[in-house]
Structure 1
């Protein structure tokens, strides 16, 4: 099992099925082209369930509803569970704003629409974000939860009724200053295989394929 990463390892250990949004097919096609690996990814093989918008499933005794939330990536998903929503990489914490939308398949316009759809949830819905980068201002501790009402009123990028044009201007300008995250081009080749490393080659080792000149560094 030395070729397995977290998701595949957990599935192997527990037998639990895996799931991802149905737009993973589009993402796989996009990145197959970028890596020049025709048919390099097979979501139907590597994931047990491909969720559509509005899909529902059980997590133990909990009822979960799926909201497809593109913008950060094509396939971003929000999971709504009771009075909580796991909003992944859409919102950051209230004082940090929102996430970038400049990755291949990303869109600040689609992100704005996804954010508004999340903000349409009941005011007391607790939104759990996927990332935080403290300190922001005077805050020293990490934060991961705030209500819809708090984000709607106070979110740094979209609170107070910011228009789509205002949001896109802010988001696109900020994204233009950001480099690719470290090891993103490696991680995608694992994520799109459901947590598996690339198939081992003749020597028994797995190798990553990295495009040398498709992306350019924007900050030096």
Structure 2
């Protein structure tokens, strides 16, 4: 994978949700894209704030970037996207409004969670400016970017190939973390295996920028934004070279069966399937669970 122009890459770690956000800039035009932005949410007070997103805007202003795209790798279950907020803040200061973009299979996720959370259909229509086809190419200034379909963690998951870099989202984690869960609706451990091995087929020097990092104590280092294909092939604790697909799939399914749901799942997905917009009435639904006889009482209306 070679190209005459390599991007300037800003890596911004959001520690509350352990999310990597990226600003990818063309060095010749100063056009740029933002990948997997975070909108802050405090579940103890049900408060949304923009401190993290505003730090991205400050970086954009500092470097005098023009943001052409606000990119999502998938509909996140562990953080709220700041995409719509960023678009609203950036649009008045630019000659053209940035486009919020995600893979075309977001419609599957919207259908699933729109029904679960009783989202009015009109609040899911045209909330993304562009839905990517597999392998679609687009420009960030003079940079050519390509969309890679990388399913498994979620059915809509994509990555972005820009220069000698892949922004993988949650399709692979750093070698000492391994892989992401596959138990969300439409998730598939076999598909994730295929996606990770697709990444392994790239040239060894290609950098893989991941969507999260959860540094284990034994690492002895801070968060890592990327490793190389070579590093992943040799050291990924779940899928390094020599690992069998059946072995990985069996382990991943067993592991996922014991995991609790992400802390922000119910809030994040209601916002994220709307492309970062709030519900029309400003209210979110919160599923309530009960145990034993309490379940029947809740369902019958006796409680």
TM-score (norm 1): 0.87
Gaps of 5+ in 2: 1-47, 51-80, 91-96, 291-303
1:31 and 2:113 are equivalent in the alignment? yes
Deviations 1:39-86 (A, max 9, x none): 2652x5111110011000111221100011111111111100111000
1:153 and 2:153 are equivalent in the alignment? no
Cα 1:72–1:41 change in 2 (3 A) is farther
Q: In the aligned structure 1, how far is the partner of 2:173 from the partner of 2:187?
A: 16
**Bigger Cα Rg:** 2
- Tell me the CA shift for residue 105 of structure 1: 1.4
Instruction: Name the counterpart of 1:75.
Output: 156
Structure 2 counterparts to residues 99-110 of structure 1, below 5 A: 99-110=180-191
Instruction: Name the counterpart of 1:135.
Output: 216
1:172 and 2:259 are equivalent in the alignment? no
Instruction: Name the counterpart of 2:277.
Output: 196
Instruction: Name the counterpart of 2:87.
Output: 11
Deviates more, 1:29-38 or 1:82-91: 29-38
Cα 1:40–1:71 change in 2 (3 A) is farther
Q: In the aligned structure 1, how far is the partner of 2:185 from the partner of 2:286?
A: 15
The secondary structure found in structure 2 opposite 1:19 is strand
- Tell me the CA shift for residue 3 of structure 1: 11
Cα 1:38–1:213 change in 2 (3 A) is farther
1:89 and 2:170 are equivalent in the alignment? yes
Instruction: Name the counterpart of 2:201.
Output: 120
Whether the 8 Å CA contact 2:117–2:270 is kept in 1: the answer is no
Runs of 4+ in structure 1 deviating by more than 6 angstroms, as ranges, are 2-5
Q: In the aligned structure 2, how far is the partner of 1:177 from the partner of 1:64?
A: 38
Cα 1:198–1:169 change in 2 (3 A) is same
Instruction: Name the counterpart of 2:9.
Output: none
The secondary structure found in structure 1 opposite 2:121 is coil
The secondary structure found in structure 2 opposite 1:45 is coil
TM-score (norm 2): 0.64
The secondary structure found in structure 1 opposite 2:126 is helix
Whether the 8 Å CA contact 1:74–1:106 is kept in 2: the answer is yes
Whether the 8 Å CA contact 1:34–1:211 is kept in 2: the answer is no
Whether the 8 Å CA contact 1:28–1:41 is kept in 2: the answer is no
Q: In the aligned structure 1, how far is the partner of 2:127 from the partner of 2:187?
A: 23
Per residue, is there more strand in 1 or in 2?
2
